[in-house]
Amino acid sequence: MVKEKVRKGFRSSTRTLKRSSPGIRTGPLGKKLASETPLSQYVSKNPPFFVIFLVVFAIMVLVGASLLCLPQARAPGQPPTAFHDALFTAASGVSCTGLVVLDTSVHWSFFGQAVILALVQLGGLAFMLTSAFLLIVLGKRVGLLDFRFSDAMDASSRPACIKFALQTIALIILFEGLGFLLLYNRFSTLLPAENSLWNAVFHSISAFNNAGFSILSGHNAEVFFHDDFMLLTLSALIILGGISAPVLINVLANGRWGSLNINSKIALSFTLGLLIVGTVGILAMEYGNSLGPLSVTQKIMHSFFYSASSRTAGFSSLNLGVFGFHSLVLVMILMFIGGVAGSTTGGIKVNSFAILLLTMRSYIMGYSHVHAFGKQIPEERVHEAITVFALSIMVICFPVLILAFTENLPKLDLLFESTSAFGTVGLSTGITSSLTVAGRLVIAAAMFIGKLAPLTIVLAISERRRSKEVFQPEEKVRVA
């Protein structure tokens, strides 16, 4: 009698498991096996949204490169633009990086600069809206209720996503408009009237989207990047653009710290911490080096500007070529972290970095779960952060290995260039224009991957998580 009840209970639990776990099938004696659905069949039933995500941005890069190859895109007297240079520039624009192999202010005509700016704006806006769409609207379907967006928006429906899109566009118009007015007011005192308007538009959009493109060169650039008002205005645009629309919306809607959600608290607190660490670090290590000729106030200002720019934007007010080893390492760490999830920035994102630090703290304190600001972070978010971190290290190292064979340049400079490309920052020690065609294609690919890799990794993992879930016997493994 007892054995019969056990058998019935086992068959009942097996049927329940089949209904609740479509990705797990059972074999003889109830043994659970991983789903072996062919890839073509899986794709037809579970559309790979991350692939669509990649294809859209790839099309944008190719269209942009084709437009930049047109004779109208280059300034009078400039040689024809090679396709690989146009492709590099388009990838840099769409990824909001700012690395250039051709001087933006010299080689490109007004039409060419307008194409670059359009790629920057579309790349930034499309990334924010597309990522939010995938992580909110499709959340219920593919298990992507990611706390970085769903908690920030407190929504998982199409009307909520439409509202978010409108709010995001309004924020972009607001901040880029304010940036334009401030920059135009300053440009009008430094440049001829016919150049002030376009420069204000270009740099406002470039800064808010954390792109780092500049159409200033020579004396104008020197004056521009040594003006405290300009540096503060650019820093504000860079920080606001790197915080992300969901966080800005949550802050504007609530106002008080206690009313903010966990995503906003993590984003704001860790962004402030990274700004302080970066400012103090650069100031201390470059005080008598690249900052040497400046006054104390200017040293602090440039250190703060570089701390903000090096994580996301790529505007350069100092010569990175004379930076010391320790300073370059610090800048590479900041570039690797990047900005807040859901913004136009690259890197592993502040959110993932915060989760890694919080996980280490929890382990050291002996906690079984990860907590922050009185809330528990889901375990799957921890796994995603670790996965993004590990794969991002590989994405950075792989281009360096290739560049070590194709380029006869210092290895530290190659590592810095690869990190800058992955983080979609745009800072360089000055070797970008010296890269071979193969090297430029490698860096272009790194920019493209760096822009999309973290979100794509999360999407790809989440889409197949349920179909790959398998429960197996547990056994301990030594790690130290």
Q: What are 358-412's pLDDT values in tens digits?
A: 999 988 888 888 888 888 888 878 888 888 898 888 888 888 999 999 999 888 9
What average pLDDT score do residues 39-61 get? 64
* 2 occurs within a structural domain: no
User: What is the band of 333 on the pLDDT scale with cuts at 50, 70, 90?
Assistant: very high
* 9 occurs within a structural domain: no
Q: How far apart are CA 359 and CA 370, in angstroms?
A: 6
Q: What angle do CA 322, 325, 330 make, to 5 degrees?
A: 105
> Which residues constitute the domain of residue 174?
36-468
pLDDT greater than 80 at residue 51:
no
User: What is the band of 30 on the pLDDT scale with cuts at 50, 70, 90?
Assistant: very low
Q: How far apart are CA 122 and CA 96, in angstroms?
A: 10
Position 13 scores a pLDDT of 44
**Chain mean pLDDT for the chain:** 79
Distances (CA, A) of 195 to 68, 110, 360, 412, 435: 22, 11, 51, 38, 32
What average pLDDT score do residues 261-277 get? 91
Position 63 scores a pLDDT of 94
**Helix %, strand %, coil % for the chain, to 5?**
70, 5, 25
| Residue range 82-91, pLDDT digits in tens | 999 999 999 9
User: What is the band of 162 on the pLDDT scale with cuts at 50, 70, 90?
Assistant: confident
User: What is the band of 330 on the pLDDT scale with cuts at 50, 70, 90?
Assistant: very high
Position 329 scores a pLDDT of 92
Q: pTM (2 decimals)?
A: 0.80
pLDDT greater than 60 at residue 10:
no
Q: How far apart are CA 215 and CA 105, in angstroms?
A: 4
pLDDT greater than 60 at residue 36:
no
Higher pLDDT, 469 or 146: 469
User: What is the band of 416 on the pLDDT scale with cuts at 50, 70, 90?
Assistant: very high
* 26 occurs within a structural domain: no
Among 143-147, 253-257, 319-323, 430-434, the least confident range:
143-147
Position 477 scores a pLDDT of 75
Position 83 scores a pLDDT of 93
Position 87 scores a pLDDT of 92
DSSP 261-295: -HHHHHHHHHHHHHHHHHHHHHHHHHTTTTTTTS-
The CB density around residue 195, as the number of other CB atoms within 10 Å, is 15
Site of tokens 């690259």 = 346
Distances (CA, A) of 453 to 51, 165, 374, 445: 11, 22, 30, 11
What average pLDDT score do residues 261-284 get? 92
pLDDT greater than 50 at residue 44:
no
Q: How far apart are CA 382 and CA 388, in angstroms?
A: 10
What average pLDDT score do residues 183-198 get? 84
Higher pLDDT, 162 or 284: 284
Position 158 scores a pLDDT of 59
The CB density around residue 53, as the number of other CB atoms within 10 Å, is 21
Position 182 scores a pLDDT of 93
pLDDT greater than 50 at residue 274:
yes
* 8 occurs within a structural domain: no
Among 19-33, 225-239, 357-371, 421-435, the least confident range:
19-33
| Residue range 93-115, pLDDT digits in tens | 988 888 888 988 889 999 999 99
Q: How many domains does the chain have?
A: 1
User: What is the band of 140 on the pLDDT scale with cuts at 50, 70, 90?
Assistant: very low
Position 28 scores a pLDDT of 39
Position 151 scores a pLDDT of 39
* 211 occurs within a structural domain: yes
Higher pLDDT, 323 or 36: 323
Position 152 scores a pLDDT of 38
% residues pLDDT > 70 (the chain) = 75
